[in-house]
């Protein structure tokens, strides 16, 4: 999320976990397999904590802790605002995903997850593949995002893209009075899994599309395949477009880019788009840029995983749920306007209100 909302790494572990209101943090260590992992359970009011596992070669343990605390908190709000009955959690495995993966490591990780008795359900995140998930699933039943041949929900990216598309249309409705994207000019940053699926929806709307990617050959491939315009990665912020869709990295909405962006709408799939949640959400508001909160409109992936968690997975049901992102987003814009607050703050309030209401209800029943 941002410097302001990140846990202060100066204090001890307890100081850090209490700063963002975490319930529990579990360190998992297995010298035999080389496993070093941290599981962060942020909030379980709505149900068991759910969120993916990230494998990353962190420079140090503090960095890993900081990441898992921030990501798990994000999952609490994403799951709550998406109307799911799961809480927020996340895990990180400290290690290089290209060189340090073994079956034993993931089976060992699965044993730790099993030991939490269902308080945390894991899935894929950066650095983790469905093959790794298969290995985790050999040691625990508390894992989702399994491949389709194992009865799982498979790749969540298409559903994520659909949700982002719904959120973008709701933003267009609010900004232009119509949710048609036809003729609008868009800068799509990152044509990876989600970016490409999103692009397919945008093409059907007859948009004027500009794409960038970290890899030039990927841009070429996409431009040839879809007949869209390629742009150098650092020039994407300078285009005169109606919509900026960040689908690559976090923190691309910051002091520098907000000086350059000329769009009316920011709506994309990337997590943690605002470098500083409050400062940059306020700046968007001041500049009359309608920011569609990332953790609301990119919820399609966890919605897809949720239907696997509750059993009898049905992709159609996941898409139906992701379609509701349109209504959720539009309602959120109305609330932000009504209360004269930025859209990120409005989304946080919406998520917290649901957690509080359902928490009270559960206490009564
Ligand atoms: P991905 O790795 O498949 O795609 C990301 C793409 O961005 C890659 O093609 C990469 O080359 C490109 N990229 C990296 N740095 C870039 C830069 N500086 N400029 C332009 N392009 C750059 O990832 P994905 O699964 O498509 O996810 C995209 C984003 O959406 C990520 O932030 C991810 O956390 C978020 N997200 C994904 C899902 C999902 O279901 N996959 C769900 C929720 C959120």
212 & 269 share domain: yes
Q: How far away, in angstroms, is 213 Cα from ligand 1 center?
A: 9
Residue 74 lies in a domain: no
pLDDT tens digits, 316-360: 999 999 999 999 999 999 999 999 999 999 999 999 999 999 999
pLDDT tens digits, 208-233: 999 999 999 999 999 999 999 999 99
Pinpoint the alpha helices (H) of the chain.
Answer: 13-19, 61-81, 103-115, 130-136, 157-176, 193-204, 216-226, 255-260, 277-286, 294-297, 300-309, 315-323, 325-339, 343-364
127 & 197 share domain: no
Atom number in ligand 1 closest to CA 269:
30
Residue where one domain finishes, among candidates 125, 148, 171: 148
Q: How high is the mean pLDDT of the chain? A: 95
Using a pLDDT cut of 70, give the percent of the chain over it.
Answer: 97
pTM, full prediction: 0.93
Q: How far away, in angstroms, is 190 Cα from ligand 1 center?
A: 6
pLDDT in the model for residue 17: 82
Residue 323 CA, distance from chain mean position: 17
Count of structural domains, the chain = 2
Atom number in ligand 1 closest to CA 250:
32
Residue 331 lies in a domain: yes
Q: How far away, in angstroms, is 137 Cα from ligand 1 center?
A: 25
Residue where one domain finishes, among candidates 148, 169, 192: 148
Beta bridge partners of 91: 39, 53
Region 76-97 average pLDDT: 97
59 DSSP 8-state letter: S
139 & 163 share domain: no
56 & 107 share domain: yes
Q: Which residue has the tokens 């709307």?
A: 205
Ligand 1 pocket by Cβ (under 6 Å)? 156-157, 160, 189-195, 212-215, 218, 233, 247-249, 269-271, 298, 301
pLDDT in the model for residue 2: 42
Q: Which of 5-9, 128-132, 185-189, 240-244 has the lowest mean pLDDT?
A: 5-9
101 & 186 share domain: no
pLDDT tens digits, 22-40: 999 999 999 999 999 999 9
Residue 362 lies in a domain: no
Pocket test for ligand 1, best of 269, 294, 308 (most atoms within 8 A of CB): 269
pLDDT in the model for residue 16: 83
Residue nearest to atom 39 of ligand 1 (CA): 157
The one catalytic residue among 90, 101, 119, 146: 90
Residue 347 lies in a domain: yes
Residue 187 lies in a domain: yes
CATH assignment at residue 40: 3.40.50.10860
pLDDT tens digits, 243-300: 999 999 889 999 999 999 999 999 999 999 999 999 999 999 999 999 999 999 999 9
218 & 129 share domain: no
Residues 6+ apart with CB under 8 A from 60: none
96 & 171 share domain: no
User: Is residue 1 pLDDT above 50, yes or no?
Assistant: no
Residue nearest to atom 33 of ligand 1 (CA): 270
174 & 136 share domain: no
pLDDT in the model for residue 7: 54
Four-point Cα dihedral 274, 276, 281, 284, nearest 10:
-70
Residue nearest to atom 18 of ligand 1 (CA): 214
Residue 77 lies in a domain: no
Q: How far away, in angstroms, is 339 Cα from ligand 1 center?
A: 33
pLDDT in the model for residue 12: 78
Closest CA to 345 of 286, 290, 300, 282: 282
Residue 308 lies in a domain: no
Q: Per-residue confidence at 3, pLDDT binned at 50, 70, 90?
A: very low
Is-catalytic flag, 90?
Answer: yes
Atom number in ligand 1 closest to CA 161:
40
pLDDT in the model for residue 130: 87
Q: What is the rounded CA–CA span in Å between residue 45 and residue 54?
A: 23
248 & 335 share domain: yes
Residue where one domain finishes, among candidates 101, 117, 148: 148
CATH assignment at residue 170: 3.40.50.720
Structure tokens at 261: 């962006």
Q: How far away, in angstroms, is 109 Cα from ligand 1 center?
A: 25
134 & 243 share domain: no
Closest CA to 36 of 115, 95, 83: 95
> Domain range holding 98?
2-68+90-148
pLDDT in the model for residue 10: 60
Residue 54 CA, distance from chain mean position: 12
185 & 287 share domain: yes
Residue 319 lies in a domain: no
Q: Per-residue confidence at 78, pLDDT binned at 50, 70, 90?
A: very high
pLDDT in the model for residue 6: 54
Strands 53-56 and 35-43: unpaired
pLDDT in the model for residue 8: 54
Atom number in ligand 1 closest to CA 302:
42
pLDDT tens digits, 149-201: 998 998 899 999 999 999 999 999 999 999 999 999 999 999 999 999 999 99
What SS3 state is found at 329?
helix
191 & 332 share domain: yes
């Amino acid at each position: 999320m941002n410097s302001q909302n990140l846990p202060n790494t100066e204090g001890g572990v307890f100081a850090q976990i209490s700063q963002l209101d975490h319930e529990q943090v579990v360190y998992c260590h297995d010298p035999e397999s080389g496993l070093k992992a941290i599981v962060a359970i942020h909030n379980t009011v709505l149900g068991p904590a759910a969120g993916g596992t990230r494998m990353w070669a962190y420079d140090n343990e503090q960095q890993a802790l900081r990441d898992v605390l921030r990501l798990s908190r994000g999952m609490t709000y994403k799951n709550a605002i998406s109307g799911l009955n799961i809480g927020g959690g996340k895990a990180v495995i400290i290690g290089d995903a290209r060189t340090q993966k073994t079956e034993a490591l993931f089976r060992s990780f699965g044993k730790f997850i099993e030991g939490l008795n269902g308080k945390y359900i894991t899935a894929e995140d950066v650095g983790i593949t469905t093959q790794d998930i298969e290995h985790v699933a050999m040691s625990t039943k508390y894992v989702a995002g399994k491949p389709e041949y194992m009865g799982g929900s498979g790749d969540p990216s298409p559903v994520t893209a659909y949700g982002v598309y719904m959120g973008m249309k709701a933003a267009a409705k609010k900004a232009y009075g119509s949710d048609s994207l036809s003729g609008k000019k868009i800068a799509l940053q990152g044509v990876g899994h989600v970016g490409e699926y999103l692009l397919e929806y945008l093409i059907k709307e007859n948009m004027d599309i500009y794409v960038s990617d970290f890899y030039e050959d990927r841009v070429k491939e996409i431009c040839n395949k879809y007949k869209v315009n390629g742009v150098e990665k650092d020039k994407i912020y300078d285009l005169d477009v109606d919509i900026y869709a960040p689908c690559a990295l976090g923190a691309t909405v910051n002091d520098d880019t907000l000086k350059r962006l000329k769009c009316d709408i920011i709506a994309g799939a990337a997590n943690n788009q605002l470098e500083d949640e409050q400062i940059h959400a306020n700046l968007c508001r001041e500049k009359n840029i309608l920011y569609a909160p990332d953790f609301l409109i990119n919820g399609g992936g966890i919605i897809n995983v949720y239907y696997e968690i509750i059993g009898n997975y049905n992709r159609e049901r996941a898409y139906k749920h992701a379609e509701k992102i349109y209504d959720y987003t539009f309602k959120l814009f109305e609330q932000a306007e009504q209360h004269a607050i930025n859209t990120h703050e409005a989304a946080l309030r919406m998520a917290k209100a649901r957690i509080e209401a359902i928490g009270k209800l559960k206490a009564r029943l």
